[in-house]
Homo-oligomer: A and B are copies of this chain.
């Protein structure tokens, strides 16, 4: 019986922390050995963290990364490890670089998987399909790989490939399978958005079934600036059944025994023979790896299959992980949040408390004359429910002194949004002063609906290190708040916060709906325009009033400059407002 025990080490690497990531990988190799694994697979770019971005242009960084792989190889005497890293090729011959004399020592780079066994790197696979859309810029850094190692180890033939390579029906996973792979070992760093893990798993299952092989996918987990990686690593058998599934949004290690006797060699699945195999210069490179036999005192194992979370639970867990990792990986442990009495700051505080612990979350309530009594009460109640500290600094004296200072210049001019923005900026200053003095990170509280239409003050409520809800539409803010209130013994967000109509409280009796359509109307318009690139005409055809659509689209177009200076926010939708969406500020296009 040809059988291989495989471990998927779903780790949370930190971008750039080569030493820390190497230590983490070593510890998981040990853990896999303890579990009797023949093979342990780590995520794409496990050594560097993902995405390393322009760190990749530092030759020293690449040298250090390769050094880490050499060090890890020495840990692999009795088992095999597949580890994502960056490999370099020959010196780049890009004509522009060459002619300008710049980057003379920049080499061609590959997004690679090191196959470590027998205390050495026995083979290297280089990613062939390099995503360069959405949040991805892999074409900026990497060259596509060409060779296709096919590894035979302990009687089982493995085709190693990376993330996108298995998304194409004609990609390298396909070529490896046709050449005789029993198991496809895919490693990935696949950023989260709503429902992504589901579609990834569905694709992997369909792929395994159609091609009649076992597929393993070790996915990265953790937060990196605006991205979160959701984990959800899986092993799917040749019938497309999930044999093992790791946790979502947590580190994990899952182990399964793969019986490859059921894999038919030289398989031709129905219809496959009519497909053109992928053309290209890649060549199969057959590598047989001998290594010391493992200690064979293995007990039988039943692979663990974690439950799938609901879409909303995934978003909530993702936001918690995103906040925790942004704060901790940047060397902070406490956060400060301006609490207004509204639902956005309430949800932000709850997420922060879940991420960092209530003792590490500091609220700041900064009332003005326009702040209602209800807001003060609701902030107090929220802080009590959450057990977070909250202090109060009234901004009225500061507002007044600014008014006197600006008086001579503003003479004869009516009050307008200038004065509203000033209040928001005073609050921003106070939060930043607390941040500077005590070393707490400021979390901003604006949601995606506001950020899309520019209903936010630059340097005011937009001031902070990370914008927790930047990619969460207002209607989903309520859904998440309700979800969280249903969990645990009691509701943490007071009911009145969820029931009161949204208001910025920057002038008397202000309501969001004075300036914006109701959120249940606004949010689908924004989704159609911002996420789906629909024209005004098309959005009207979905059933919205032309005036409303034109108004919203104009607001989005005119507020690009604000978003450009916004803090990073955690991406949870298919298109966030960060690297996903690169609009010019200077833009004469009038959408119609």
Among the listed B139, B393, B401, B410, which residue makes an inter-chain contact with A409, where contact means beta carbons less than 8 Å apart?
A: B393
Q: Which residues of B contact A145 (CB under 8 A)?
A: none
Say whether, besides A16-B588, A430-B405, A410 and B397 are in contact (CB < 8 Å): no
Distance between Cα atoms of A567 and B458 in the complex (Å):
11
Interface pair B459/A586, CB less than 8 Å apart: no
Point out which of A103, A325, A329, A433 has the most chain B C-beta atoms below 10 A from its C-beta: A433
Can you list 5 pairs linking A and B with CB atoms under 8 Å apart?
Answer: A60-B592, A137-B140, A139-B140, A397-B401, A465-B561
Interface pair A225/B167, CB less than 8 Å apart: no
Copies of the protein in its oligomer = 2
Interface pair B404/A418, CB less than 8 Å apart: no
Among the listed B99, B223, B395, which residue makes an inter-chain contact with A199, where contact means beta carbons less than 8 Å apart?
A: B99
Q: Which residues of B contact A397 (CB under 8 A)?
A: 401, 404-405
Interface pair A459/B428, CB less than 8 Å apart: yes
Say whether, besides A225-B584, A459-B432, A437 and B425 are in contact (CB < 8 Å): no
Interface pair B535/A169, CB less than 8 Å apart: no
Interface pair B17/A582, CB less than 8 Å apart: no
Shortest A261–chain B CB gap in Å is 31
Q: Which residues of B contact A58 (CB under 8 A)?
A: 533, 535, 591
Say whether, besides A15-B588, A16-B584, A533-B59, A169 and B95 are in contact (CB < 8 Å): yes
The 3 A-B pairs with the shortest beta carbon distances in the complex, nearest first, are A17-B588, A16-B589, A418-B436
**CB of A292 within 8 A of chain B?**
no
Q: Which residues of B contact A60 (CB under 8 A)?
A: 535, 537, 591-592
Contact stretch, chosen from A35-43, A46-54, A83-91, A310-318 = A46-54
**CB of A585 within 8 A of chain B?**
yes
Shortest A409–chain B CB gap in Å is 6
Shortest A264–chain B CB gap in Å is 25
Nearest B-chain residue to A441, judged by Cβ: B561
Distance between Cα atoms of A18 and B587 in the complex (Å):
10
Among the listed B53, B416, B459, B584, which residue makes an inter-chain contact with A15, where contact means beta carbons less than 8 Å apart?
A: B584
Shortest A199–chain B CB gap in Å is 6
Interface pair B61/A589, CB less than 8 Å apart: yes
Shortest A467–chain B CB gap in Å is 11
**CB of A469 within 8 A of chain B?**
no
Nearest B-chain residue to A206, judged by Cβ: B99
Q: Which residues of B contact A401 (CB under 8 A)?
A: 397-398, 400-401
Interface pair A405/B432, CB less than 8 Å apart: no
Distance between Cα atoms of A487 and B348 in the complex (Å):
55
Shortest A104–chain B CB gap in Å is 9
Interface pair B418/A437, CB less than 8 Å apart: yes
Nearest B-chain residue to A529, judged by Cβ: B58
Which A69-122 residues sit within 8 Å CB-CB of chain B? 94-97, 99-100, 102-103, 106
Nearest B-chain residue to A18, judged by Cβ: B589
Say whether, besides A100-B574, A132-B139, A402-B433, A588 and B409 are in contact (CB < 8 Å): no
Which size class do A's interface residues fall under?
A: 35 or more
Distance between Cα atoms of A168 and B96 in the complex (Å):
8
Which A9-40 residues sit within 8 Å CB-CB of chain B? 14-18, 20
Among the listed B164, B398, B422, B564, which residue makes an inter-chain contact with A433, where contact means beta carbons less than 8 Å apart?
A: B422
Interface pair B94/A133, CB less than 8 Å apart: yes
**CB of A2 within 8 A of chain B?**
no
Distance between Cα atoms of A17 and B413 in the complex (Å):
33
Q: Which residues of B contact A55 (CB under 8 A)?
A: 583-584, 587, 589
Among the listed B53, B421, B561, which residue makes an inter-chain contact with A582, where contact means beta carbons less than 8 Å apart?
A: B53
**CB of A391 within 8 A of chain B?**
yes
Point out which of A171, A393, A394, A588 has the most chain B C-beta atoms below 10 A from its C-beta: A588
Interface pair B437/A432, CB less than 8 Å apart: no
Distance between Cα atoms of A406 and B199 in the complex (Å):
50
**CB of A417 within 8 A of chain B?**
yes
Q: Which residues of B contact A400 (CB under 8 A)?
A: 401
**CB of A330 within 8 A of chain B?**
yes
Nearest B-chain residue to A564, judged by Cβ: B568
Shortest A360–chain B CB gap in Å is 17
Shortest A93–chain B CB gap in Å is 10
Say whether, besides A225-B584, A459-B428, A568-B564, A589 and B17 are in contact (CB < 8 Å): yes
**CB of A283 within 8 A of chain B?**
no
Q: Which residues of B contact A329 (CB under 8 A)?
A: 586, 588
Contact mask A182-195 → B, CB, 8 Å, 1/0? Answer: 00000000000000
Shortest A291–chain B CB gap in Å is 32
Distance between Cα atoms of A567 and B459 in the complex (Å):
12
Shortest A147–chain B CB gap in Å is 19
**CB of A224 within 8 A of chain B?**
yes
Distance between Cα atoms of A421 and B463 in the complex (Å):
14
Distance between Cα atoms of A566 and B97 in the complex (Å):
28
Shortest A87–chain B CB gap in Å is 18
Among the listed B18, B225, B422, B561, which residue makes an inter-chain contact with A585, where contact means beta carbons less than 8 Å apart?
A: B225
